[in-house]
């Protein structure tokens, strides 16, 4: 059986369970580990794990049990960039496939020709403002964006996990009301308590595919492991086309 090495932040109360829930019907094993990080460095737009990358990656099972390593933090991807994140992971554990919410979201958007999005995050200004140039480097334009950090006083991952789904939908509706036409919306952060059924419901209510960090990552993992049935079923739930 194929295996996934899942790395989540020590502060994230949501991401691990959410990822496992999305993957529950796939014939895969998930091995998990957690990492602390330098919070001040991250607020300033960087990402330094504690312990360091080689020690962190060594806490996962050996290579014959792990086919993909998932670093389940969107903002860390944006802070480091795709190439630097993959370099850090591959230097510590070479010869495995790698993904993260940022990498996966870009892969999913490219697969479905999504070029214009509305973006919702829970981050402070430094991390939130880094998204537009990050997406632009991959040919994706965030034509409308908003952070809930200030209006909801979001400081910790636990704060983010308590944001109600109806508040997320309300903010997305407002973004779409004021935006030019978009191909999809993206809800960024693995700590948001959003389930697959929530994305399906919001997609129907908003008339536009709603992508989210954990679920985009699950889609990309299924794609990397050639589990095309579960991958395509999930995309179809969001109104995205099935392969010909």
pLDDT tens for each residue of 128-176: 999 999 999 999 999 999 999 999 999 999 999 999 999 999 999 999 9
Q: Is the peptide bond before 51 cis (omega within 30 degrees of 0)?
A: yes
pTM above 0.85, yes or no: yes
Q: How confident is the model at residue 180 (pLDDT cuts 50, 70, 90)?
A: confident
Per-residue pLDDT tens for 93-133?
Answer: 999 999 999 999 999 999 999 999 999 999 999 999 999 99
For 99, residues 6+ apart whose C-beta sits below 8 A from its C-beta are: 68, 69, 70, 71, 107, 217, 220, 221, 224
Is residue 204 a contact partner of residue 241, using CB atoms and an 8 Å limit? no
Checking if the pLDDT of 244 tops 70, the result is no
Cβ count within 10 A of residue 141: 15
Report the distance separating Cα 238 and Cα 230, nearest Å. Answer: 13
For CA atoms 107, 108, 111, 112, give the dihedral sign.
Answer: negative
Q: Helices in 2-73 by DSSP H: which ranges?
A: 15-22, 39-43, 53-58
pLDDT of residue 86: 97
**Interval 35-48: pLDDT, tens:** 999 999 998 999 99
């Amino acid at each position: 059986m194929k295996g996934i090495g899942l790395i989540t932040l020590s502060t994230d109360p949501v991401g691990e369970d959410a990822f496992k829930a999305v993957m529950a019907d796939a014939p895969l094993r998930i091995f998990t580990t957690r990492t602390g990080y330098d919070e001040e460095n991250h607020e300033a737009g960087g990402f330094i794990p504690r312990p360091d990358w080689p020690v962190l990656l060594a806490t996962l099972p050996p290579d014959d049990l792990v086919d993909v390593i998932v670093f389940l933090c969107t903002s860390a991807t944006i802070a480091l960039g795709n190439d630097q994140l993959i370099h850090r992971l591959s230097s510590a554990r070479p010869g495995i496939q790698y993904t993260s919410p940022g990498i996966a979201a870009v892969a999913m958007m490219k697969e479905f020709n999504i070029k214009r999005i509305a973006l919702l995050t829970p981050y402070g200004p430094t991390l939130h403002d880094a998204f537009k140039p990050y997406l632009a480097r991959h040919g994706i334009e965030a034509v409308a964006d908003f952070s809930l950090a200030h209006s909801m006083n979001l400081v910790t991952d636990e704060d983010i996990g308590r944001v109600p789904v109806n508040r997320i939908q309300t903010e997305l509706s407002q973004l779409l009301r004021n935006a030019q036409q978009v191909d999809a919306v993206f809800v960024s952060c693995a700590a948001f308590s959003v389930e697959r059924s929530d994305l399906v419901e919001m997609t129907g209510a908003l008339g536009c595919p709603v992508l989210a960090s954990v679920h985009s990552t699950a889609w990309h993992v299924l794609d990397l492991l050639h589990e095309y049935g579960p991958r395509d079923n999930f995309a179809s739930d969001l109104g995205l086309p099935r392969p010909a």
